[in-house]
Structure 1
Amino acid sequence: MAQHHKKIYPDVEIAMPTRPRASLGLENGDPSPIRWCHQASPSLSLIPSPSQTPIQTLNLNPRRCCCKCLCWTVGLLTLLLFIVGATAGIIYLVFQPKPLNFDMTLSARFNVRITTDNPNKKIGIYYEKGSRLSVWYKDTNLCQGTIPKFYQGRQNKTVLNVALTGRNRYGTTLLNALQEQQQTGRVPLDLNKNVPVSVKLGALKLRKVRILGTCMLIADSLTTNSLISIKASSCHFGLKL
């Protein structure tokens, strides 16, 4: 019976300790209490991997950047102005330029045809030297000329072609005024005459007198190489002893 009631224990392997128990201090029979020794582990510096490195944002001051850009711009402009000024100064010293002088003159030429008619049967006329014809625009003399010396007999009609030429220093102002007046189709002109003559009565030649005359003319235009058409005219004559 006793053999049948024998207890059977399971075969359990007892895990052997992996470390000796010398740390407990009991092998030598030391009754002193257990002393725990704590050894500080050395500090380790952990270097994160590149994937774990935090992204650092650059804290840039926009006002500081603007100041730098402005300083660079001002500096470049100053340098450029200095280079240009130095170049201009060198050119001036080398070449020594002088301003140009312009003299604007207006040249005018009129071909005046004069017809003189002497209907007298016993009176002849001598046209002497020193005559003068001139064309004026307002108070400006455009051109002048002279009548040649000749004798006009009794009951005679003579046609004279007189060339009047002139130059005016106020060319620009005068030309602009004439062009504006020409656009209206009515250019006012004055023809002044100062002609010395002597009258012959039969065989007697009288002393010299001057014929003074003024003709107010209205021309259509003053164009080159074209005939001037006189739209209106009014003449006055007198004698000067």
Structure 2
Amino acid sequence: MSKDCGKHGGGGGGSAASRICGAIIAFIIIVLITIFLVWVILQPKKPRFILQDTTVFAFNLSQPNLLTSNFQVTIATRNPNSRIGIYYDRLHVYATYRNQQITLRTAIPPTYQGHKEDNVWSPFIYGNAVPVAPYNAVALGDEENHGLVELIIRADGRVRWKVGTIITGKYHLHARCHAYLNLADKSNGVLVGENAVKYTMANKCSVNV
């Protein structure tokens, strides 16, 4: 016959089992309270992302609705926490247009970001003859003709938090950065090659963890 914390007889075995169950419950409660208090005291904050610039090497929409693009983006990140470190275990950067992915994903090497520390990443993202939905192709063609194209540079991955010697489990991270490219007037950027134009932005990104 099995025993649990709610059933015990008059013998010493039942009393011992209830004491053990009570001690386990008390230990779990103490651990949960400790974790909660540490979390409240430390007040963890999400990392901050800023899209500093975007260099356009190629951006060509051809028929039938095929987009070839090549960018280099510079993303600055900051850990605003004074007692919490951040492990970036996996992070991929890519571009989207109206919620459609238009480049391949480029992986950022795993890295650790210490307290109040900054990191700068400058990955290349590109797509060769990527099919674009017809309605998006029409909108993209109109924006190209008018000069200003709005893209979203995305960074998706997983992070872990480090408090002292304690490392948490993995959390999903999603960063969204607006990139406005005036492709019709290259004077809005800086020529950095025969056909490459660098656009300075310094746009704050939305971050969800």
TM-score range, shorter chain: 0.5 to 0.7
Task: Tell me, yes or no, if the aligned pair for 1:136 and 1:189 is still in contact at 8 Å.
Answer: yes
Aligned to 2:109: 148
Task: Tell me, yes or no, if the aligned pair for 1:220 and 1:229 is still in contact at 8 Å.
Answer: no
Alpha-carbon RMSD across the aligned residues, in angstroms, is 3.1
How far did 1:236 drift? 2.4
Unmatched segments (≥5 aa) in structure 1: 1-101
Shift in CA distance, 151/111, structure 1 to aligned 2, threshold 3 Å: same
How far did 1:197 drift? 0.7
Corresponding letter in the other structure for 1:199: W
Shift in CA distance, 138/119, structure 1 to aligned 2, threshold 3 Å: closer
Q: Does 1:237 align with 2:207?
A: yes
Residue by residue over 1:26-85, the C-alpha shift from the partner in whole angstroms, topping out at 9 and shown as x without a partner, is: xxxxxxxxxxxxxxxxxxxxxxxxxxxxxxxxxxxxxxxxxxxxxxxxxxxxxxxxxxxx
How far did 1:139 drift? 4.2
Shift in CA distance, 168/213, structure 1 to aligned 2, threshold 3 Å: same
Aligned to 1:45: none
Alignment of 1:184-223 (within 5 A): 184-221=146-183
TM-score w.r.t. length of structure 2: 0.54
Aligned to 2:30: none
Query: Identical aligned pairs, as a percentage?
Result: 24
Which runs of at least 4 in structure 1 moved beyond 6 Å after TM superposition? 173-176
Corresponding letter in the other structure for 1:133: V
The CA distance in 1 between the partners of 2:205 and 2:81, in whole Å, is 21
How far did 1:163 drift? 1.3
The CA distance in 2 between the partners of 1:212 and 1:115, in whole Å, is 15
Residue by residue over 1:96-119, the C-alpha shift from the partner in whole angstroms, topping out at 9 and shown as x without a partner, is: xxxxxx998533111111111123
Aligned to 2:17: none
1:181 to 117, 138, 143: 143
The CA distance in 2 between the partners of 1:169 and 1:156, in whole Å, is 37
1:165 to 104, 120, 126: 126
Residue by residue over 1:110-162, the C-alpha shift from the partner in whole angstroms, topping out at 9 and shown as x without a partner, is: 11111111233321111103x22221122432213222211111221111111
TM-score w.r.t. length of structure 1: 0.47
Q: RCO greater where, 1 or 2, for CA within 8 Å and sep 6 or more?
A: 2
The CA distance in 1 between the partners of 2:180 and 2:128, in whole Å, is 21
SS of the residue corresponding to residue 228 of structure 1 reads: strand
Unmatched segments (≥5 aa) in structure 2: 1-62, 187-194
Corresponding letter in the other structure for 1:237: V
Shift in CA distance, 155/236, structure 1 to aligned 2, threshold 3 Å: closer
Structure with greater strand percent: 2
Q: Does 1:134 align with 2:94?
A: yes
How far did 1:217 drift? 3.0
The CA distance in 2 between the partners of 1:213 and 1:146, in whole Å, is 14
